[in-house]
Amino acid sequence: MRMLAEDVDGGWRISLADVERDGPYSRFAGMTRVSLVMQGAGVTLDEGTTRVELQPGRPSEYDGGTTWQATLRDGPVIKLNAMAARGRYHAHITLLYETTYVQAGCFVLVVTLCGSCIVSATDSGDAIVLDAAHVATRLADGPALEIAPSRDEDTGKVSNEAPTQAPAPYGALVIIEPVSRGWHAAHADSLPIRKACMKVMAAVKRVVDYNVKVRVKADQTGVDIGNVKMSMNPFDEIAIEAATRLKEASHASDVIAVTCGPTQSAETLRTALAIGADRALHIQTDVELQPLAVAKLLKAAVEREQPQLVILGKQAIDDDAGQTGQLLAALLDWPQATFASAIEIQGNTVTVTREVDGGFEVIELDLPAIVTTDLRLNEPRYVTLPSIMKAKKKPLDILTPAELGVDPAPRLKTLKVVEPAARKAGVRVPDVATLIDKLRNEAKVI
């Protein structure tokens, strides 16, 4: 037996075993065992009342603590074994035929059987090429992974494809998952997890940075943004983070960031790309955009890109209108969930936990749908320098409202913008009697 990996606390172990003769099987009390026959005709396990057939290419799960008697079907076999402590871990083994995704937070072992494969992190894109008969592992605290067969450089086709016969697996995958996570256990019938095809669009807006003290223009026509630090609207940053996490969890294949605004808004899109969006769409205009115009432009972008889910911040911190998401849902005639503090994709539905007065409300929407984000949904990641550099190479398309057939001209006129009235400073009162007197005679609240 060749030990490939094991938990230092004894919670799980992965091995490759050569079984050359009939005889008793090793016992591992308290462990669930999963075996996959990699080579040979198979093994029959029998303990008197129960029989387990280990067949080539079919993972089998059975009790590791039972005293099994092994009988070879037709000569020696080589099998891949994974054992996990019941109540602590789930073990999964599957053969790899196509691109497969693995959730974050699991220990992963990949064995290449033929050709080579590419194992890459879905968050950073960092990848390794694994040649035939090699093994790669990823620690439990690692990111979500994409595992794909390598492609022939000359033809661009998957190297192990055989047009006239069933393709051979290019590898085997072992997943050790904590019971507390349980994602792969819940989807065991659909392993390996194939690439999702859902598009997610996240709308972002360039606003005055929340740390800046805004100043009203002297003519009271608006806020002075000259020489002022600008950044992504914080609620939109949460939206792009949510979309990125859906992709990392293999619920989405494509994250598109979109913004409407002047040339400088491209900087905001680059930030969205650095967070994790795959590509960006800039609807470029210098016209003052009001919520209805933005919703119309986003509707045109949705019709162009055909996403199944659109995520927006619940409001922008510059005007606090809080209207765009709802207007977009009405224009598209899509279901909507506002003020989301949790988002979960299940098949063709999205379950959203939203904040309401006095508590939370959980609703389920059929896709496609609109979701607006609240602050509790997530904490956006810190954007690293490598992510910023990679964002510069990601595609950013520029369109105009005219190309989308939308007139963004404002329908409302701002008459005047003024500074809020100065608040009176508080005063310290010497005793309770004076406080009551002021509350009764000055504040007139009692």
* Residue 172 φ/ψ region, left for φ over 0, alpha for ψ in the -120 to 50 degree band, beta for the rest: beta
Average pLDDT, rounded, for the chain: 85
Binned at pLDDT 50, 70 and 90, residue 152 comes out as very low
Residue 314 in contact with residue 235, Cβ under 8 Å?
yes
- 189-218: average pLDDT: 75
* pLDDT bucket at 151, cuts 50 / 70 / 90: low
Report the pLDDT value the prediction gives residue 134, as an integer from 0 to 100.
78
The dihedral over CA atoms of 424, 426, 429, 433, expressed in degrees to the nearest 10, equals 70
Strands (E), 347-446: 349-356, 359-366, 369-373, 396-399
pLDDT of residue 148: 86
Percentage, residues of the chain above pLDDT 70: 91
Name residues whose C-beta falls within 8 Å of residue 443's C-beta, 6 or more positions apart in sequence. Answer: none
* Least reliable range by pLDDT among 26-30, 139-143, 298-302: 139-143
- Between 275 and 230, where is the model more confident? 275
Structural domains in the chain?
Answer: 2-194 (2.60.120.10), 199-404 (3.40.50.620)
CA 336 – CA 346 distance, rounded (Å): 16
99 compared with 144, residue with greater pLDDT: 99
Backbone angles phi, psi at 143, to 5 degrees: -80, 175
> Where is pLDDT greater, at 397 or 152?
397
Output the pLDDT for position 337.
93
- Close Cβ partners of 342 (under 8 Å, ≥ 6 residues apart): 351, 352, 353, 376, 377
DSSP track, 141-208: TS--EEEEE-B-TTT-SBTT--TTSPPPP-EEEEEEEETTT-HHHHTGGGPSEEPP--EEEEE--EEE
pLDDT average, residue stretch 226-252: 88
d(C-alpha 38, C-alpha 136), whole Å: 17
Q: Is the dihedral of CA 28, 32, 34, 40 positive or negative?
A: positive
Mean pLDDT of 222-235: 82
What is the spatial distance between Cα 255 and Cα 309, in angstroms, rounded to a whole number? 10
Span 145-150, average pLDDT:
84
Whether residue 399 contacts residue 283, with contact meaning beta carbons closer than 8 Å, is answered with: yes
Distance (Å, whole) CA 166 – CA 31: 35
- Range with lowest mean pLDDT among 161-175, 325-339, 390-404, 419-433: 161-175
DSSP assignment letter at 265: G
